[in-house]
Structure 1
Amino acid sequence: MPTPVLDKKQTFSIWYLLGALFLISLLQDVISARHTLTLTYSEFKQAVVAGGVQDLVLAEGMAEGTLKPDALEKVLPPDRLEHLRTPGSEQRFVTVLVDDPTLVPQLDAAKVHYGSVRRSTFLPLLLSWVAPALVFFGIWWLLMKRIGGPGGAGGLMSIGKSKAKVYLQQETGVTFKDVAGIDEARDELMEVVEFLRTPDRYRRLGGKIPKGVLIVGAPGTGKTLLAKAVAGEAGVPFLSLSGSEFVEMFVGVGAARVRDLFEQAAAKAPCIVFIDELDALGRARSPGLMGGGHQEHEQTLNQLLVEMDGFDTSHRGVIIMGATNRPEILDPALLRPGRFDRHVAIDKPDMKGRRQILDVHVKNVKLAPAVDLDSMAARTPGFAGADLANLVNEATLHAARQGKEAVDMQDFEQALDRIVAGLEKRNRVMNPEERRFVAYHEAGHALVAEYRASADRVAKVSIIPRGIGALGYTQQSPTEDRYLLRRSELLDRLDVLLGGRVAEELVFNDISTGAANDLQRATDMARHMVTQYGMSEALGLATWDASPRAAFLGLPGAPEQRDCSERTAEAIDAEVRRLLEESRARVRATLAEHRPRLEALAQLLLEKETVDRGMLEFVLAGVKVEKGTAAGVEA
Structure 2
Amino acid sequence: MSFLKNTITSPHIKRLITTSTTINKLTINNSTILSTFKTKVNNNKSNINQNPTTTTTTTVKSKLFKINNENTFSRSFYSQRLKIIDHGDKNPMDDGVQEIVYKELVEMGDYETVINRFETMGYAANEECVRYYFKSLVFSNKLDRAHLSLSKISESDILKHIKQLETPTQDQPSSSSSSSSPPITLPPYSISFILPDAVKEKINQKPMIPVIRIGEFGPMRMSMGDRIWGILWIPVLAIGIFLFILKDENSPTVSTSSGSKNKTVAKEYTDTANNKTTFDDIKGIDEVKAELIEIVDYLKNPEKYDRIGAKLPRGILLSGEPGTGKTLLARAIAGEAGVPFLYTSGSSFDEKYIGVGAKRVRELFDLARSQQPCIIFIDEIDAAGRNRISSRFNETLLQLLTEMDGFAQENKIMVIGATNSPESLDAALTRPGRFDRQIAVPIPDFKGRKEIVEFYLSKVSHDEDKIKPEKIARSIPGFTGADISNLINTAAIKAVLNGQDKVTLKMIDEARDDILMGRERKSSIISEETKRNTAYHEAGHALVAAFTESSDPIHKATIIQRGHALGMVSQVPESDHHQFTRKQMMARLAICLAGRAAEEVFFGREMVTSGASSDFQQASKLATAMVTKWGMSDKLGYTFHHDKMSQGTLNTVDFEIKNLLDKQYDHAKTLIIKHKDKMHLLMKFREINSS
- Partner Cα separation in structure 1 for residue 268 and residue 325 of structure 2: 23
- Partner Cα separation in structure 1 for residue 507 and residue 637 of structure 2: 49
Deviations along 1:401-460, whole A, 9 cap, x unmatched?
211221111101110110000110122121111111111111111111111221111121
Counterpart of 1:182 in structure 2 is 285
Q: Residues 253 and 158 (structure 1 numbering): CA distance in 2 closer, same or farther, change over 3 Å? A: farther
Unmatched 5+ stretches in structure 1? 1-139, 287-292, 547-561, 615-635
- Partner Cα separation in structure 1 for residue 610 and residue 359 of structure 2: 58
Q: How much does 1:515 deviate?
A: 0.5
Does residue 309 (structure 1) correspond to residue 405 (structure 2)? The answer is yes
Q: How much does 1:374 deviate?
A: 1.2
Q: How much does 1:318 deviate?
A: 1.1
**Alignment partner of 1:538: what SS?**
coil
Counterpart of 1:540 in structure 2 is 637
Does residue 151 (structure 1) correspond to residue 267 (structure 2)? The answer is no
Q: How much does 1:294 deviate?
A: 3.5
Amino acid at match of 1:228: R
Counterpart of 2:216 in structure 1 is none
Is the 2:264–2:363 Cα contact (8 Å) retained in structure 1?
no
Q: Residues 182 and 600 (structure 1 numbering): CA distance in 2 closer, same or farther, change over 3 Å? A: same
Q: Residues 145 and 316 (structure 1 numbering): CA distance in 2 closer, same or farther, change over 3 Å? A: closer
Give the counterpart of 1:264 among 355, 358, 367: 367
Deviations along 1:185-234, whole A, 9 cap, x unmatched?
21122211111112233333332221000111111111111111111111
Is the 2:254–2:269 Cα contact (8 Å) retained in structure 1?
no
Is the 1:269–1:316 Cα contact (8 Å) retained in structure 2?
yes
| Identity of matched residues, % | 41
Where in structure 2 are the equivalents of 1:84-483 lying within 5 Å?
A: 147-151=249-253, 158-159=263-264, 164-168=269-273, 171-286=274-389, 293-295=390-392, 297-310=393-406, 313-314=408-409, 316-368=411-463, 369-468=465-564, 470-483=565-578
Counterpart of 1:503 in structure 2 is 598
Amino acid at match of 2:250: G
Amino acid at match of 2:252: P
Amino acid at match of 1:148: N
- Partner Cα separation in structure 1 for residue 367 and residue 608 of structure 2: 67
Amino acid at match of 1:591: I
Q: How much does 1:260 deviate?
A: 2.9
Tell me how many residue pairs correspond in the alignment: 442
Is the 2:358–2:396 Cα contact (8 Å) retained in structure 1?
yes
TM-score, reference length from structure 2: 0.61
Amino acid at match of 1:515: A
Q: Residues 157 and 271 (structure 1 numbering): CA distance in 2 closer, same or farther, change over 3 Å? A: closer
Give the counterpart of 2:651 among 570, 577, 587: 570
- Partner Cα separation in structure 2 for residue 440 and residue 149 of structure 1: 64
- Partner Cα separation in structure 1 for residue 265 and residue 373 of structure 2: 24
Counterpart of 1:524 in structure 2 is 621
Give the counterpart of 2:690 among 604, 607, 613: 613
Counterpart of 1:489 in structure 2 is 584
Amino acid at match of 1:209: L
Higher strand share: 1
Is the 1:355–1:377 Cα contact (8 Å) retained in structure 2?
yes
Counterpart of 1:108 in structure 2 is none
- Partner Cα separation in structure 1 for residue 637 and residue 519 of structure 2: 45
Q: How much does 1:283 deviate?
A: 1.7
Unmatched 5+ stretches in structure 2? 1-241, 256-260
Q: Residues 283 and 315 (structure 1 numbering): CA distance in 2 closer, same or farther, change over 3 Å? A: farther
- Partner Cα separation in structure 2 for residue 464 and residue 343 of structure 1: 46
Counterpart of 2:662 in structure 1 is 581
Is the 1:148–1:158 Cα contact (8 Å) retained in structure 2?
no
Q: Residues 501 and 342 (structure 1 numbering): CA distance in 2 closer, same or farther, change over 3 Å? A: same
Is the 1:262–1:315 Cα contact (8 Å) retained in structure 2?
no
Is the 2:540–2:597 Cα contact (8 Å) retained in structure 1?
yes
Is the 2:252–2:265 Cα contact (8 Å) retained in structure 1?
no
Is the 1:239–1:273 Cα contact (8 Å) retained in structure 2?
yes
Is the 1:447–1:591 Cα contact (8 Å) retained in structure 2?
yes
**Alignment partner of 1:514: what SS?**
coil
**Alignment partner of 1:200: what SS?**
helix
Q: How much does 1:144 deviate?
A: 7.6
Q: Residues 266 and 142 (structure 1 numbering): CA distance in 2 closer, same or farther, change over 3 Å? A: closer
- Partner Cα separation in structure 1 for residue 243 and residue 382 of structure 2: 34
Q: How much does 1:244 deviate?
A: 2.5
Q: Residues 142 and 285 (structure 1 numbering): CA distance in 2 closer, same or farther, change over 3 Å? A: closer
Amino acid at match of 1:219: P
Is the 1:279–1:324 Cα contact (8 Å) retained in structure 2?
yes
- Partner Cα separation in structure 1 for residue 435 and residue 623 of structure 2: 40
Pick the structure with greater CA Rg. 2
When the two chains are superposed, the root-mean-square deviation of aligned CA atoms in Å is 2.3
Q: Residues 191 and 538 (structure 1 numbering): CA distance in 2 closer, same or farther, change over 3 Å? A: same
Is the 2:449–2:473 Cα contact (8 Å) retained in structure 1?
yes
- Partner Cα separation in structure 1 for residue 357 and residue 649 of structure 2: 50
Counterpart of 1:512 in structure 2 is 609
- Partner Cα separation in structure 1 for residue 343 and residue 317 of structure 2: 14
Deviations along 1:136-170, whole A, 9 cap, x unmatched?
xxxx99978851253359xx9944668533322xx
Q: Residues 250 and 587 (structure 1 numbering): CA distance in 2 closer, same or farther, change over 3 Å? A: closer
Deviations along 1:17-40, whole A, 9 cap, x unmatched?
xxxxxxxxxxxxxxxxxxxxxxxx
Q: How much does 1:268 deviate?
A: 2.3
- Partner Cα separation in structure 2 for residue 256 and residue 141 of structure 1: 14
**Alignment partner of 2:339: what SS?**
coil
